[in-house]
Copies of this chain bind each other. A is one copy, B any other.
Amino acid sequence: MSGADSRIPADREHPFDVAIALKPGDTGDGGYTGQTHPAYANMVGPYGGITAATLLEAVQRHPERLGVPVSLTVNYAGPVAEGEFGITARPSRTNRSTQHWWLELTQDGRVVTTATAVYAARRDTWADTETAMPEVAAPDTAPVTPMPDHVQWAKNYEMRFLDGAVPALEGAPESPDSTTTLWVRDAPDRPLDFPALASMCDVFYPRVFLRRGQAAPAGTVSLTIYFHADDDALAAQGTSPVLARARSNRFGRGYFDQSACLWGTDGELLATTHQLVYFKG
């Protein structure tokens, strides 16, 4: 896909494609090996979005895969160490129009991440978007506002925060509202596909930072994505910015939840996503 991107030389792969690249094992039974990519590093292990994308990629390229993803749940059981990892992807049940997947990411024989995915053959039905895209400034009128320099993975995204930007490292106030809204796209440009959309679903920094006005240890333990986009919607979106908005319902006893919507530039709801996040403080 990088051939379509004017910002990457034709002989170079996009960093996202390098990061999610998998090598099938010799046995052909849904086993793959991959490698962490320093460009998507986070505080402890890689950015959760790239892990979600890599697990989805294992299904996308599996010879038994039918249809498109409609649901993905990723459970972050432990930190992914820098270096090689194995992924096992297994269809647990294939029906006429749906297929259920079981996924496991391991390192040194230990389970690091588990996931389940539902794929489906989509067909035309009655349709309606009840959660419309909020009225916000157009992407090109909002300044690009990078995350702090030490956040490696965020350099792969062009972020234009409209509200709820990352609090300053010192002296930021508490906030009564955990909402963040931003325009986001891959940097360099890359046409949107299912793994890229999955990765983008984890693009929000921890909501507790915003509420408390300061960073603290936090990490996603479980992430769920519902894909409303199909192949046509992704093709229509292309490399345009996605409007992403997240907020939390409840913080307490070491965990908070987060729900988010991702709309295409034209207002199409591409995905809704939810996560439960561990935090200290």
Contact = CB atoms under 8 A, between A and B. Distances in A.
Interface string A3-24: 0000000000000000000000
A128 B276 CA distance: 15
Interface string A202-235: 0000001001100000000110101010100000
B130 A249 contact: yes
A interface: dominant SS: strand
A120 interface: yes
A253 B278 contact: no
B70 A95 contact: no
A61 interface: no
A125 B110 CA distance: 30
Contact of A257 (B77, B127, B228): B228
Nearest to A248: B130
Q: How many chain copies? A: 2
Interface residues of A, number: 62
A118 B272 contact: no
Interface string A87-108: 0000011010110101010000
Contacts of A222: 71, 73, 116, 118, 224, 226
B276 A250 contact: no
Contacts of A131: 249-250
A75 interface: yes
Contacts of A177: 130
Contact of A212 (B70, B126, B248, B261): B126
A111 B130 contact: no
Contacts of A253: 122-125, 127, 230
A104 B102 CA distance: 10
Contacts of A157: none
Contact of A75 (B100, B126, B272): B100
B73 A120 contact: no
9 contacts: A78-B93, A93-B110, A93-B111, A123-B253, A126-B251, A126-B281, A130-B251, A226-B257, A259-B274
Interface of A: 70-71, 73, 75, 77-78, 92-93, 95, 97-98, 100, 102, 104, 110-112, 114, 116, 118, 120, 122-131, 177-178, 208, 211-212, 221-222, 224, 226, 228, 230, 247-255, 257, 259, 261, 269, 272, 274, 276, 278-281
